Amino acid sequence: MSINIGNLPIVTTADVRDNTGILVNTTDSNGLPYTGLLPISTLQDDAGCLCVKTATLTLTSAQILSGNTTPIAFGITPASGTCIRILSVSAEMDYQTTAYATNGILRIRTVGATYHQFQWSANSMLYGTVSRKVMGAISLTLGTTDTQLIADADIEAYVDSGDPTAGDSPVTLTVTYIEE
């Protein structure tokens, strides 16, 4: 018998931190009602779960100003043999006094990859003159030799083409991703 976890309620990590199971009322793979304790271990990554995860990275203005020279890693350690595939991204700028200038395309890529997974145009983020939160655009136009997903690698934010020449606003990036 397997449990249909698609019908389970959303449970936060805080709700299950000190528990060994979740009381569920659902159906099994045969469509029969099931009420009982679903062990937390069956929902963890090592049990084959393709779990959606979230990571946040706040970039200081100093990091953005050197973001082409020195990309900034998120600090994610994927499970052995898996790649981080980003599902969605958002960027939130806390506008201070000066917009970024020159080289304003902000991107996220897998460390070691030749092509990014998501990006923001200069006008949609770094050249902004107000505080705002916007979604990033998925990047699908790869060349014949480009790499995008690499096993066992973190993801990093960087500025394309060169370092910006001005700007003083921090930007917080939030990604949702799976390891596959």
Q: At 68, which CATH number? A: 2.60.120
Domain region containing 17: 5-47
Same-domain pairing of 114 and 149: yes
Average pLDDT of each block of 10 consecutive residues along the chain (180 residues)? 50 52 65 68 55 94 98 96 95 97 96 96 95 90 92 98 96 94
Count of the separate structural domains present in the chain? 2
Q: How far is CA 28 from CA 21, 113, 122, 161, in A?
A: 17, 41, 50, 53
Compute the distance between CA of residue 88 and CA of residue 52 in angstroms, rounded to an integer. 11
**pLDDT reported for residue 1:** 43
Nearest CA to 126 out of 139, 113, 107 is that of 107
Regarding whether 41 and 59 lie in a shared domain, the answer is no
pLDDT for res 91: 96
pLDDT recorded at residue 103: 95
**What H or E segment, with its residue span, contains residue 14?**
helix 13-16
Does residue 118 share a domain with residue 36?
A: no
Please check whether residues 69 and 36 belong to one and the same domain: no
pLDDT for residue 35: 72
pLDDT of residue 22: 64
The predicted pLDDT at position 174 comes to 96
Same domain, 105 and 153: yes
